[in-house]
Chain A
Amino acid sequence: QSVLTQPPSVSAAPGQKVTISCSGSSSNIANNYVSWYQQLPGTAPKLLIYDNNKRPSRIPDRFSASTSGTSATLGITGLQTGDEADYYCGTWDSSLSAGVFGGGTKLTVL
């Protein structure tokens, strides 16, 4: 069981918007910055979002994120078939003194 909880899968049509949730606790999301990663099939994860809502320069603004209390949300607009991937949230857990990740969410673009 992962410390951070994500839905196993989400789906949406091309061009539409999707959100992926990440639920944690006061020892992780509520008090530490959240990051998000995209893992395309057969490849290493790639950083999408850091510090809750900041995008590396190479990441398009179709990707956004936010946090509220013990939860975080990743949003993807203008869905493309190339967005089909597994998405992971991550942060530091102050109680465990460990980096923690969600179990991952598989995005299907129908």
Chain B
Amino acid sequence: QVQLQESGPGLVKPSETLSLICSVSGGPISSYYWSWIRQSPGKGLEWIGYMYYSGATDYNPSLKSRVTLSVDTSKNQFSLRLRSVTAADTAVYYCARLRYIVRRFYVDVWGKGTTVTVSS
């Protein structure tokens, strides 16, 4: 059973970079798409982007200028970097395994989520 665990700072200062890591256990990172999704307090889900284990990426256009996703297959981990954060980036961040192919987009495995607060 594949399990995902997010890790990283829970507090980030405005204008700095938010960095999170997702550790994948119980299965390989290869041959799958991996994604980050966030949920602002009291709000719905927002897709941040995905990466393929080979390194190919795609991002939500609304965040594209500030986001970088990367993968480390040797450690079975993938990561998120979000630059120039503001209070609007305060959210629970979920890492997820994505099933993505033509016309098909869904998350079949979710991490437990980690809360990131942007505040000075």
Q: Which of B47, B108, B111, B113 contacts A99 (CB 8 A)?
A: B47
Q: What residues of chain A lie closer than 8 Å to B13, measured between beta carbons?
A: none
Q: What residues of chain B lie closer than 8 Å to A68, measured between beta carbons?
A: none
A35 contacts B106, CB within 8 Å?
yes
Query: CA of A91 to CA of B45 in the docked complex: distance in angstroms?
Result: 12
Chain B interface residue count, CB cutoff 8 Å, equals 25
Q: Is the interface of B mostly helix, strand, loop or mixed?
A: strand
Write the B67-111 contact mask toward A (1 if CB under 8 angstroms, else 0): 000000000000000000000000000100001100111111011
Write the A86-105 contact mask toward B (1 if CB under 8 angstroms, else 0): 00101110001111111110
Tell yes or no: B16 within 8 A of A by CB. no
B44 contacts A35, CB within 8 Å?
no
Query: CA of A33 to CA of B45 in the docked complex: distance in angstroms?
Result: 18
